[in-house]
Amino acid sequence: MNYRESIDWLFSTQLFGIKLGLEGPRRLLKEFLAFPAHSTRVLHVAGTNGKGSTCALAESVARAGGTRTGLFTSPHLVDFRERIRVSGVEIPEDDCAALLTGLRTICERLDPHPTFFEITLAAAMRWFRERECELVILETGMGGRLDATTAVPADVCAITPVGLDHTQWLGDTLAKVAFEKAGIFVEGKRALSAPQPDEVRRTLEMEANERRSPLEFVSEPLRGYPIGLPGRHQAWNAALALDCLHALGLPLDYETVRHGLETVRWPGRFEVIDHEGATVVLDGAHNPDGAAALVEAWRDRFGERKAALVFGAVESKDVEGIASRLGAIASTTHLCPIDSPRALATAELASRFSTPLEHADFPSAIEAALAGGGPVLVAGSLFLIGEAKQWLEGGERRVSAQ
């Protein structure tokens, strides 16, 4: 298969849905010779908010110190290859196609058929092995205990702030969600965590104790370094990322840390874009805690100036909780559907916002928002952020339900 054919095949596997469990991904990793080499260190990151940022911060600092890194994240915003990077470079199209072609041959004889996420993980891990990565950083897809990434043996595990999200899969209390996140802990291996609510902290401590996994909590945000990601919460993410690198035994010095933190990039997380003289901020805040962090970052950047908000979401999200927070910084609200089978109709969203304007699609929503003359905030689902980046920067986007 060429690249386009291989991507079309991969996206067709979304029909197999989400299957939580480790037997399937372990089998696929074994069949595809995709487990990491013995000398490769693995950092596994789970949590509700800040997973991607923490992974990006850790990868950037490790790479600044000369470590050959493999970074696996999800979802992508515009191009599928964003999910698989070696030393900051996305996997080339031809290599991606070759890996997916090999995986298709294996998948055709496996029952049950591997899922989109399992196949993507196997492709990434094989690529990291072929490129002789010294450090692999894995962002959990959902939960932790039964997430495919947990099939990869980790040397250090990290938990970012835990809140309520994906409750239909992970449970409807913080303790239940924390139990699922703590499922990434490895017997005898170190674990680190951001500060957590008491209910979460207690659950993490109990699970770490049972696994004899030494668990430490970050006690204060990182100070004294410029961080390339906006928002005060990124100082906490940076502290967690650096503690993880120390736990992995990576040699760090001031210049390495400074350069890595200053040059880190993580698109779609308070990403500021100048569009024909207008300021547009993209932020994938898709739960109330993420929305609260967004509001704080907005006020740090714009003070009391309000945003023309463009918003869209998928089902199962706490839209009311998100709306109650974003309403504090929104002058107008423009609702639009997103390109996902799980998209919420604008009529369903409208009751959660004060005097919202409904639009048929994203282009009409953002054009109306831009007409107001003030800063524009595009927030909600990462699917919407990807569509916004496509519209603002041009190019074709491959949508994923994962």
Question: What radius of gyration, in Å, describes the C-alpha atoms of the chain?
Answer: 20
> Does residue 319 share a domain with residue 367?
yes
**Predicted local distance difference test score (pLDDT) of residue 127:** 98
CB under 8 Å to 340, separation ≥6 — which residues? 314, 381, 383, 399, 401
From 263, 293, 311, the end of a domain falls on 263
> Among 247, 263, 279, which residue terminates a domain?
263
Number of CB atoms found within 10 A of residue 272's CB: 12
Examine the pLDDT at 391 and tell me if it is beyond 50. Answer: yes
pLDDT at residue 397 tops 80: no
The answer as to whether 401 is a domain residue is no
Please indicate, yes or no, whether residues 329 and 211 belong to a single structural domain of this protein: no
Percent of the chain exceeding pLDDT 70 equals: 97
The answer on 198 and 114 residing in a single domain is: yes
The predicted pLDDT at position 400 comes to 45
Question: How far apart (Å, rounded) are the C-alpha atoms in residues 48 and 278?
Answer: 32
In this prediction, residue 399 carries a pLDDT of 46
Question: 233-247 vs 288-302: helix axis angle to the nearest 10?
Answer: 110
Mark whether 235 and 304 lie in a shared domain: no
Band (pLDDT 50/70/90 cuts) for residue 258 is very high
Please check whether residues 247 and 287 belong to one and the same domain: no
Residue 175 has pLDDT above 90, yes or no: yes
- Pairwise pLDDT comparison (377 vs 144), residue with the higher score: 377
Three-state SS for 131? coil
CA distances from 156 to 173, 222, 346 (A): 26, 20, 42
- The structural domain count of the chain equals 2
Residues 311 and 224 reside in one and the same domain = no
291 and 250 assigned to the same domain: no
What's the CATH code of the domain at 135? Answer: 3.40.1190.10
CATH number, residue 283? 3.90.190.20
The pLDDT confidence band at residue 184, using thresholds 50, 70 and 90, is very high
Cβ(382)–Cβ(315) under 8 Å? no
Q: What is the DSSP letter of 113?
A: P
Mean pLDDT of the chain: 93
Same domain, 259 and 276: no
Structure tokens given for 215: 């668990």
Q: Residues 257, 278: one domain?
A: no
- Beta pairing partners, 376: 280, 308
Shared domain check, 294 and 250? no
For residues 217 and 281, membership in a common domain is answered with: no
Residue 163: its pLDDT value, please?
A: 86
**pLDDT digit string, tens, across residues 42-91:** 999 999 999 999 999 999 999 999 999 999 999 999 999 999 999 999 99
* Least confident span in 206-210, 213-217, 279-283, 340-344: 340-344
The boundaries of the domain holding residue 74 are 3-263
Q: How confident is the model at residue 16 (pLDDT cuts 50, 70, 90)?
A: confident
Mean pLDDT to the nearest integer, 166-195:
90
Task: Write down which residue in 263, 282, 305 finishes a domain.
Answer: 263
pLDDT of residue 10: 97
Specify if 398 maps to a domain.
no
Does residue 168 register a pLDDT over 80?
no
How confident is the model at residue 21, as a pLDDT?
Answer: 85
Residues 134, 236: one domain? yes
242: confidence class by pLDDT, cuts 50, 70, 90: very high
**Residue 400 falls within a domain, yes or no?**
no
In a domain, 402, yes or no: no
d(CA 274, CA 280): 6
What does the pLDDT look like over 296-345, one tens digit per residue? 999 999 999 999 999 999 887 889 999 999 999 999 999 999 887 788 89
Q: pLDDT band at 170, cuts 50/70/90?
A: confident
